[in-house]
């Protein structure tokens, strides 16, 4: 589709108003094969974990060596196997 994108200020709306939008976003991520995961406040942004939580393969726009210090359990999780990294 591509027409569903809209700018939304979550701080100006109640949880009840926001819940349907978040539910639709999660549903769309579950249907997608790949989810774009750009850097946010830190190289490993919440988008990475949101994608993983919905079963979507995150496409991380950063070199793995740049974000490894931010990723939890690096000795237990092979992030190269569960995400795509690109610069």
**What is the spatial distance between Cα 45 and Cα 58, in angstroms, rounded to a whole number?**
11
pTM comes to 0.66
Query: What's the confidence (pLDDT) of residue 1?
Result: 45
- Sequence-ordered alpha helix ranges (H) in the chain: 15-31, 46-53, 64-67, 79-82
Average pLDDT for residues 14-28, to the nearest whole number? 85
Query: What's the confidence (pLDDT) of residue 34?
Result: 92
Query: What's the confidence (pLDDT) of residue 8?
Result: 66
């Amino acid at each position: 589709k591509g027409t569903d994108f809209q700018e939304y200020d979550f701080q100006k709306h109640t949880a009840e108003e926001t819940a349907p939008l978040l539910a639709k976003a999660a549903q769309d991520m579950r249907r997608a094969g790949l989810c774009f995961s750009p850097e946010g406040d830190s190289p490993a942004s919440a988008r990475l974990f949101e994608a993983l939580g919905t079963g979507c393969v995150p496409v991380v726009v950063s070199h793995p060596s740049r974000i490894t210090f931010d990723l939890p359990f690096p000795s237990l999780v092979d992030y190269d196997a569960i995400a795509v990294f690109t610069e």
